[in-house]
Amino acid sequence: MSALHDIAEKHLVRYGGAFAEAIIERAKGTVLYTTDGREILDFTSGQMSAILGHANPEVLKAIREASETVAHLHSSQRSPAVIRLAEKLAALLPPSLSKAMFLSTGGEANECAIRMAKLYTGGFEIVGFDRAWHGMTGGAASTTYTGGRRGYGPAMAGSMVLPTPDRYRSRFVRDGHYDWEAELDMGFDMIDRQSVGALAAVIIEPILSSGGIVEIPDGYLAKLKAKCRERGMLLILDEAQTGIGRTGTNFAFERDGVAPDILTLSKTLGAGLPLSAVITSPEIEQRCHARGFLFFTTHANDPLPAAVGLCVVEALVRDGLAARAKELGAHMKQGFLDLQQKYEAIGDVRGRGLMVGVELVEDRQTRKAATGLCDRVTDLCLAYGVNMNIARLGSLASVFRVAPPLTVSKDEIDRMLGIFDRALGEATGRRSAA
């Protein structure tokens, strides 16, 4: 392993903090296998993507069959896999979301959605949450506020923010009541003052992931869409991590009964392969087409990843993965809530389905982020056999993002909870909650 480390140090670009010490040579289901023979439970689903587990036999079969027929085509050409995937997704979505195109990454899909919104509305101003992550390309990066903004020059003109509706840390909490409506009203008052009259879209995640597993409140999405309508804006939902069953419904927006104008999917749709989607209405697609909409990329509507996406959507429906995520997610969340009674350091437990956030604090009164403690717990978890991930928000890097594959077993969840308990206990000296 040391030889591989030496080669990596010599030749690999560091693109976001330090690399993990463990080098993974293979993976199966929920388990990662290192070059030195260790087994690690993967509670991040790779990059929050491998919802069917690693090396899923159906996914491997889809890859093999696609590679033996047609894996790549010119962007103007269509394949059966692409057509059928569009049809399958439309069958799961409201009638207003029935036109799809397929790309490679979430950033690319969000870039496409933003361009579409600008062309459709004629505006250029894009609003996002102040703790959002939508990607690393131009427009997507301009609406990403959790990191990567310093040192790269100006963001795209017209980029604006709304306050993230974080009930745990909002300044709009009075006497224990979180007034998210006042917070949203204030946010749009500020947007209206900044706007030059060219508002195009709001883009948000229904549950902010890199922003700390922050779930938007009940009723928020409906009021947000109404504010968009008042201003002639489109509502774009980025369901990179919340789509395809993870939150206990096929798509997170289903809880609210409010459909976006444009939906973007990625990560979970490809189950670990580079696949994303932009889905919108016939009306929006028609106007954009009439105005010359252009988003040619090398891998637009590629057959091989579409074949994998088709496999994923079929598994979602056939195996009831959303219901499974809801049931197992409730069990996992309750496990963390039980640990919250044991450890003062657990300030908050939140999330839906198999997407749970656990926030560590130095004390529950001040809610000061326990960043160093998170790092120690992460290291101990890895040493004992569980891969955990921290949502790093600068000075607020204190939230564990827990998102295992939807194929995880109850036993594996219990093993993870046991290891987390052990790690947190060692890191805190087992300080019990009052």
| Per-block mean pLDDT, blocks of 10 residues, the chain (434 long) | 85 88 94 95 96 97 96 94 98 98 97 98 98 94 91 94 94 91 98 98 97 96 98 98 98 97 98 97 98 95 98 98 98 98 97 97 92 93 95 78 98 98 94 51
Last residue of a domain, one of 289, 318, 347: 318
Residue whose pair of structure tokens reads 């939906």 in the numeric block: 263
pLDDT for position 269? 98
Same domain assignment for residues 178 and 214? yes
Rounding to the nearest 10 degrees, give the CA dihedral for residues 57, 47, 205, 279: -40
Same domain assignment for residues 161 and 66? yes
Same domain assignment for residues 15 and 92? no
Residue whose pair of structure tokens reads 């997507």 in the numeric block: 140
Same domain assignment for residues 66 and 207? yes
Last residue of a domain, one of 318, 351, 368: 318
Give domain status of residue 434, yes or no: no
Same domain assignment for residues 120 and 216? yes
Give domain status of residue 433, yes or no: no
Same domain assignment for residues 230 and 99? yes
Residue 228 sits in which domain range? 58-318
pLDDT for position 393? 66
Give domain status of residue 88, yes or no: yes
Last residue of a domain, one of 274, 299, 318: 318
> Annotated catalytic sites, by residue?
133, 205, 238, 241, 267, 401
Distance CA 39, CA 87 (A): 39
For the chain, what is the domain count?
A: 2
Same domain assignment for residues 42 and 79? no
Same domain assignment for residues 333 and 305? no
Give domain status of residue 237, yes or no: yes
pLDDT for position 148? 87
Distance CA 252, CA 259 (A): 10
Same domain assignment for residues 203 and 267? yes
Give domain status of residue 409, yes or no: yes
Give domain status of residue 279, yes or no: yes
pLDDT for position 434? 46
346 and 330 in contact (C-beta within 8 Å)?
A: no
Q: What is the CATH number of the domain that holds 285?
A: 3.40.640.10
Q: What is the CATH number of the domain that holds 376?
A: 3.90.1150.10
Give domain status of residue 172, yes or no: yes
Same domain assignment for residues 239 and 139? yes
Token readout for 235 is: 């509502």
Same domain assignment for residues 338 and 313? no
pLDDT for position 175? 85
CA-to-CA separations, 231 to 18, 195, 200, 228, 282, in angstroms, rounded: 43, 11, 9, 5, 21
Same domain assignment for residues 351 and 297? no
